[in-house]
Chains A and B, each alone.
Chain A
Amino acid sequence: MRPCTEAELAEAIRAATAPVAVRGGGTRGQAVAGAVLETGGLSGVRLYEPGALTLVAGAGTPLAEVQAVLAAERQRLAFEPPDLRALLGRTGVSTLGGVAAENASGPRRVQAGAARDAMLGLRCVDGTGAVIANGGRVMKNVTGYDLVKLLAGSRGSLGVLTEVAFKVQAVPEAETTLVGEGFSPEAGLAALRSALGSPFDVSGAAYAGGQVLIRVEGMAGSVAYRAGQVRARIAGDWRLAEAAESAAIWQGVRDVAAFAGKPGALWRISCVPGEALAVPQALAAARVPHEALWDWGGGLLWLACPEGQGALIRSALGARGHATRLRGEESSPVLPPVSPEVAALQAGLKAQFDPRGILNPGSLG
């Protein structure tokens, strides 16, 4: 199925008698069973007002097309949606709807928020075939319930997105990354905490393999000043990566490029930054070889390890965060377990929005 209008999509959902696998470009979501329903026909930028920092586009619009339209006005999506194709071994064209449905957010999450924070409004078709609009295209909107947040990151489980409105951001004049080498994981994560706890408006804070990366962006004079202040605050051997070099570094962090092509299982862990070593330490104690990359000041941990470690990872993490399985170890659930109270609310919402259970079955775990 590849509907070309919202009405066609609604009709297709109403007519569906078996599970439907909703698919933007198939570049980031988990695979689910069902007849593939592609959103690529619902494409095109429908409104772009650079002076109001607002863009509205069909959910099937290629992310690259949106990025090109924004770049022409020196603007961008502040939340830096990752391109995980190399990491996950996918091909295809990432869509704006896929970004929204996965709440796909990159390194700037620590400063500018996630995809859900930039989403101003949406239209979708729920599991009964009803067309639902929520939010709008203005920056501040508390009119009724925020279903935009509920649908953001819902993995196509409640509705098929047909249109999304985003707040966008001007590309700043300058960016600089402080690159520090030779940090132990403890010292590296402490450096990230120190940077993010400073008043210098850090927009990226990552650590991997002894290397600390701290980004500042803004007007040229301000960037130079803040980079200097952060450097003075944290002892270490620093060099500065400017402009294009800095951008390339963060593209690598964003896309988890270092783990592309690695065999085994891949995990994405969201946790309290100060507890970011718990899982790697547990794996080390169990003599399980592993590699880790920390982003979001330690609040996001990408972990590559042999298959079969899901239970250990999740128990080491405990109540300090949650782990999502991205690749490998098919026997482990993709999503972490949730409390019975949360599970009941999720099941209740699923039953309301998709009473027949036909939209991306199993995508909520």
Chain B
Amino acid sequence: MDVPVPDAAILSRKPAIVARLRAVLPRDAVIDDPAETRAYECDALSAYRMQPLAVVLPRTTAEVAAALRVCWEEGVPVVPRGAGTSLAGGSMPTADAVVLGIARMNGVLETDYDNRFIRVQAGRTNLSVTGAVEAEGFFYAPDPSSQLACAIGGNIAMNSGGAHCLKYGVTTNNLLGVTLVKMDGTVVEIGGPWMDAPGLDLLGVVCGSEGQLGVVTEATLRILPKPEGARPVLMGFSSNEVAGACVADIIKAGLLPVAIEFMDRPCIRACEAFAKAGYPDCEALLIVEVEGSPAEIDEQLAAITAIARRHDPVALEQATDEAHAKRIWLGRKSAFGAMGQINDYMCLDGTIPVSTLPQVLRRIGELAADFGLEVANVFHAGDGNMHPLILYNANKPGDQERCEALGAEILKLCVEVGGCLTGEHGVGIEKRDLMGVQYRPADLEAQMRVKDVFDPKWLLNPAKVFPLAVSAGRRAG
């Protein structure tokens, strides 16, 4: 992975830059001791790390604006950071950058059940948004698997999804407004607790812009009434193809489960060994969850299991109570942890048209064999968002490079069949140099022109999203 050469002039001016930040922020909000900034050297893509110049931890929008203004005047790059759970290196710093962490901004500013929204500071964790409204019977729908730790600001930057977005959509479909601080310190209010924009949909382009257009400090989020109940059913099939066909039939039948999760044999085995969820020994497994009252759930699951039976399932198991439901989900939810026990792994995130599922799974198997690596598949099948896990040994020289090369081939395959490089994790540094596979130069140019408007000096999270060679002229300027 290439990293731009840090700007020596900025490194040499560190004391002056830190002094200016200290002048506008409270004493405890500026960290420049290398022993302490080390904690910010990477995010969840921990194979890549670099210590930042300094870290600022503001508590208010005004403090964020003041810090950004200083960095803008000094020409110092800024890397915004939510909770540092990015799997794509979205908040990985460079040596000449100031990390702006929003973790201290975690308050609830307003809850309005009548109008079904909540306004929070952007450092609040995803799960604690639901925590703030669940006593009144509401929840915040997007549920990335890091939801215990990840920040709403990071969710907005990456347009995060989750297992239940098949029904409820991803972050952009649940975001009503933001307070955005631009790199020059200007505060912009975008959107609000109403359902559409009067002019251009700026909110739509800010969401998913990976912290490159501005720092979101506050967010207005749509909250939904909690369904009466939910119940999963577990289905085992004799091949990936059959499981894929079953998914397509469920969707085509007009049934709208809240989640359809898919695991293949390597993944089932690892999860079973780790979590002892009682999964059947089969080639492919689906977990389908529906919501509603007990009678409504019965009605939906009857239709779904009738479809499944047409595909000769080797196992069909409906949760009989809460504990059973938890056990069915346990294996799936511990999939990444289970894999981590056995191996180092790299988690991919491409999306494919659901119809190409069997073909893509077969091709991934062939590619894995070519590279001499094993791949386990676990993913959100209803929307085609795949998470192939490539297993490798980080201590074996060359293995990580081989793993990354296989990862790139799999993502190219996703694009080839009509899909995309990333469904919910973001581009970050991880997939930056593959962007040319999906987009032509003119397509990337159009995206970069948006950044030109919001951040003309290209100081915010600059070395991300776009291939370094493609953004070089702008970053230098």
A145-B208, A147-B450, A222-B296 known; A139 vs B384 contact (CB < 8 Å): yes
B80 contacts partner chain A, Cβ-Cβ < 8 Å? no
Q: Mark B387-431, 1 if CB is under 8 A from A, else 0.
A: 000000000000000000000000000000011111111110001
A102 to chain B, nearest CB (A): 11
- In the bound complex, residues from chain A placing their C-beta under 8 Å from that of B303 are 219
Q: Are B195 and A296 in contact (CB under 8 A)?
A: yes
Q: Mark A216-242, 1 if CB is under 8 A from B, else 0.
A: 001101100110000000000000000
Q: Are A336 and B198 in contact (CB under 8 A)?
A: yes
Number of residues of chain A lying within 8 A (CB) of chain B: 87
A134 contacts partner chain B, Cβ-Cβ < 8 Å? yes
Q: Are B196 and A172 in contact (CB under 8 A)?
A: no
Please measure, in the bound complex, the distance between the C-alpha atom of A134 and the C-alpha atom of B440, giving whole angstroms.
10
Q: Considering residues A133, A197, A225, A271, which has the most beta carbons from chain B within 10 angstroms of its beta carbon?
A: A197
Q: Are B248 and A225 in contact (CB under 8 A)?
A: no
B269 to chain A, nearest CB (A): 27
A110 to chain B, nearest CB (A): 8
Chain B's closest residue to A298 (CB) is B115
- In the bound complex, residues from chain A placing their C-beta under 8 Å from that of B158 are 142
Q: Are B292 and A222 in contact (CB under 8 A)?
A: yes
Q: Are B114 and A342 in contact (CB under 8 A)?
A: no
Q: Mark B99-124, 1 if CB is under 8 A from A, else 0.
A: 00000000000001111100000000
Please measure, in the bound complex, the distance between the C-alpha atom of A353 and the C-alpha atom of B452, giving whole angstroms.
11
Please measure, in the bound complex, the distance between the C-alpha atom of A363 and the C-alpha atom of B29, giving whole angstroms.
45
Q: Mark B201-234, 1 if CB is under 8 A from A, else 0.
A: 1111101110000000000000001111000000
Q: Mark A150-190, 1 if CB is under 8 A from B, else 0.
A: 10111001100000000001111100000000000000000
Q: Are A221 and B385 in contact (CB under 8 A)?
A: no
* A109, A130, A171, A342: the one within 8 Å of B190 (CB): A342
Please measure, in the bound complex, the distance between the C-alpha atom of A336 and the C-alpha atom of B187, giving whole angstroms.
20
Q: Are B253 and A219 in contact (CB under 8 A)?
A: no
A284 contacts partner chain B, Cβ-Cβ < 8 Å? no
B4 contacts partner chain A, Cβ-Cβ < 8 Å? no
B465 contacts partner chain A, Cβ-Cβ < 8 Å? yes
- In the bound complex, residues from chain A placing their C-beta under 8 Å from that of B354 are 49, 51-52
Please measure, in the bound complex, the distance between the C-alpha atom of A49 and the C-alpha atom of B114, giving whole angstroms.
39
* A171, A201, A219: the one within 8 Å of B299 (CB): A219
A60 contacts partner chain B, Cβ-Cβ < 8 Å? no
Number of residues of chain B lying within 8 A (CB) of chain A: 94
B122 to chain A, nearest CB (A): 18
Please measure, in the bound complex, the distance between the C-alpha atom of A296 and the C-alpha atom of B195, giving whole angstroms.
9
A176 to chain B, nearest CB (A): 14
118-150 of chain A: CB within 8 A of chain B: 126, 130-134, 136-150
Please measure, in the bound complex, the distance between the C-alpha atom of A8 and the C-alpha atom of B316, giving whole angstroms.
55
A196-B116, A219-B300, A221-B295 known; A142 vs B202 contact (CB < 8 Å): no
A137-B353, A145-B447, A272-B194 known; A364 vs B254 contact (CB < 8 Å): no
Q: Are A198 and B296 in contact (CB under 8 A)?
A: no
Please measure, in the bound complex, the distance between the C-alpha atom of A172 and the C-alpha atom of B113, giving whole angstroms.
28
A39 contacts partner chain B, Cβ-Cβ < 8 Å? no
- In the bound complex, residues from chain B placing their C-beta under 8 Å from that of A173 are 254
* A171, A270, A349: the one within 8 Å of B254 (CB): A171
- In the bound complex, residues from chain B placing their C-beta under 8 Å from that of A219 are 296, 299-300, 303
Please measure, in the bound complex, the distance between the C-alpha atom of A144 and the C-alpha atom of B303, giving whole angstroms.
38
- In the bound complex, residues from chain A placing their C-beta under 8 Å from that of B228 are 199
Classify the secondary structure of A's interface with B: mixed
Chain B's closest residue to A296 (CB) is B195
A338 to chain B, nearest CB (A): 6
- In the bound complex, residues from chain B placing their C-beta under 8 Å from that of A215 are none
- In the bound complex, residues from chain B placing their C-beta under 8 Å from that of A133 are 439-440, 443
- In the bound complex, residues from chain B placing their C-beta under 8 Å from that of A54 are 353
Q: Are A140 and B384 in contact (CB under 8 A)?
A: yes
Q: Mark A310-344, 1 if CB is under 8 A from B, else 0.
A: 00000000010110100000000001101101100
Chain B's closest residue to A47 (CB) is B418
A103 contacts partner chain B, Cβ-Cβ < 8 Å? yes
A195 to chain B, nearest CB (A): 10
Q: Mark B449-471, 1 if CB is under 8 A from A, else 0.
A: 11111100000000001000000
A113 contacts partner chain B, Cβ-Cβ < 8 Å? yes
Q: Are B197 and A153 in contact (CB under 8 A)?
A: yes
- In the bound complex, residues from chain B placing their C-beta under 8 Å from that of A170 are 251-256
* 7 A-B pairs closest in CB distance: A149-B204, A170-B254, A139-B383, A348-B453, A140-B423, A51-B248, A352-B449
- B residues with CB within 8 A of A: 112-116, 137, 158-159, 161, 165-166, 169-170, 172-173, 186-190, 192-205, 207-209, 225-228, 248-249, 251-256, 292-293, 295-296, 299-300, 303, 351-355, 380, 382-385, 418-427, 431, 435, 438-440, 442-447, 449-454, 465
- A residues with CB within 8 A of B: 49-54, 73-75, 103, 105, 109-110, 113-114, 116-117, 126, 130-134, 136-150, 152-154, 157-158, 169-173, 193, 196-199, 201, 218-219, 221-222, 225-226, 270-274, 296, 299-300, 319, 321-322, 324, 335-336, 338-339, 341-342, 345-346, 348-349, 351-353, 364-365
12 A-B contacts (beta carbon < 8 Å): A103-B201, A117-B173, A136-B418, A136-B438, A138-B418, A138-B420, A140-B380, A141-B351, A143-B431, A153-B200, A225-B293, A322-B198
7 A-B pairs besides A193-B115, A196-B225 with CB distance below 8 A are A170-B251, A170-B252, A218-B296, A335-B198, A339-B188, A339-B189, A345-B202
